Amino acid sequence: MGELGIIPDDFNPKIFYILNRKFSDKCTEKTHAHDFLSLIYVLSSSCIYHINNHDYVAKKGDIIICNPGISHGRTLYEGQEVSEFHLGVNDIQIKNLPKNCLIAPHITPVIQLAKYESDFFKCYTEILRHQEKNEPGFDLLLKCLVMKMLVMVLKETYFKQHPQAANGFEFETYDKTTIVNTIVDYMDENYMHTISLDKISRNLYLSPVYISKIFKEETGESPINHLIKVRLAKAREILQQSSLSIKEVAKSVGYEDPYYFSKLFKKYYGTSPLKFKQNSEKNA
């Protein structure tokens, strides 16, 4: 389970509509509800939104989240006009929430993005641009941008809804030792390839910070230091048993830069890989 309550392989929302709308005091629209998730992004002005018998002031930059079955409607005063971006989606599942719901019932349905406000607006303008161009593949691009929008909303709201998920880890599901052993086995089998903490965290659906924390608790060292030790130990074996050049040895244990490899080797073993190789050949 991902730290935002979604499983990436299953995150495949169906888009019902993407459109811009303008409303004035002369527009009449009854309070209504949908059987899918509705997001409304206020682009200009402000108005009063009636959501499940509660009134909220929605102003420019606010996002109104209407889960399925949530009644909503707006009130505009004389001479008032508001522009909105409307998004309707279906087939999403967030952990601990009913299907197609993006927020828990106790969370206010009108939110103001803080950290991701500019990124969300950028997604919105990209959607407009692709809709206007209507080029081949634009529908797939729109879906990607909508998914990005949903993720940004989750980043702003999910940890408020589920504080226990803030570390990206479920104690009832995972065992620390099992996680660390999985990482160690992965490094032992893939040390010759590019390995990063971000890649490991994505594979395990855990945050990089949490992985580093539990790895150090269990082994006394960071995942990166452990990987270095694994690679250098393999390099020692190769230097002792083959006639490969230092550059070839470096590449065989995952280092494209032989200078960096030599620097690490000397730091850990007190001698350069070339001298180590020469001494091994003499002893042999």
Tell me the mean pLDDT per 10 residues along the chain, length 284: 68 91 80 93 91 87 94 87 94 87 85 87 93 86 93 79 45 61 88 86 71 88 94 93 90 93 93 90 74
Residue 208 sits at the vertex; the CA angle it makes with 205 and 211, to the nearest 5 degrees, is 80
Neighbouring-strand partners of residue 46: 59
Residue spans in the chain of domains classed CATH 1.10.10.60: 167-284
Alpha-carbon gap, residue 231 to 105, rounded angstroms = 50
| Helix ranges, 137-272 (H) | 138-161, 176-190, 197-204, 208-219, 223-241, 246-252, 258-269
The percent helix, strand, coil of the chain (3-state, each to 5) is 45, 20, 35
Residue spans in the chain of domains classed CATH 2.60.120.280: 8-163
Alpha-carbon gap, residue 203 to 205, rounded angstroms = 6
Q: Reduce the DSSP state of residue 207 to 3 states and report it.
A: coil
Q: Contact at 8 Å (CB) between 273 and 246?
A: yes
CATH topology of domain 8-163: Jelly Rolls (2.60.120)
What separation, in Å, do the N-terminal and C-terminal C-alpha atoms of the chain show? 52
In the structure encoding, which two tokens stand for residue 157, read together?
């709201």
Say what the pLDDT of residue 28 is.
65
Record the pTM. 0.57
Q: Contact at 8 Å (CB) between 89 and 102?
A: no
Say what the pLDDT of residue 164 is.
46
Q: Reduce the DSSP state of residue 251 to 3 states and report it.
A: helix
In the structure encoding, which two tokens stand for residue 135, read together?
């080029």
Alpha-carbon gap, residue 204 to 79, rounded angstroms = 54
Which DSSP helix (H) or strand (E) runs through 44? strand 37-44
Alpha-carbon gap, residue 215 to 209, rounded angstroms = 10
Per DSSP bridges, beta strands 110-112 and 62-66 are antiparallel
CA dihedral 79, 82, 88, 92 (to 10 degrees): -130
CATH topology of domain 167-284: Arc Repressor Mutant, subunit A (1.10.10)
Residue 243 sits at the vertex; the CA angle it makes with 237 and 247, to the nearest 5 degrees, is 80
52, exposed or middle or buried, with CB in 10 Å at 0-12, 13-18, 19+?
middle
Per DSSP bridges, beta strands 62-66 and 37-44 are antiparallel
Say what the pLDDT of residue 170 is.
41
Q: What are phi and psi of 129, to 5 degrees?
A: -60, -45
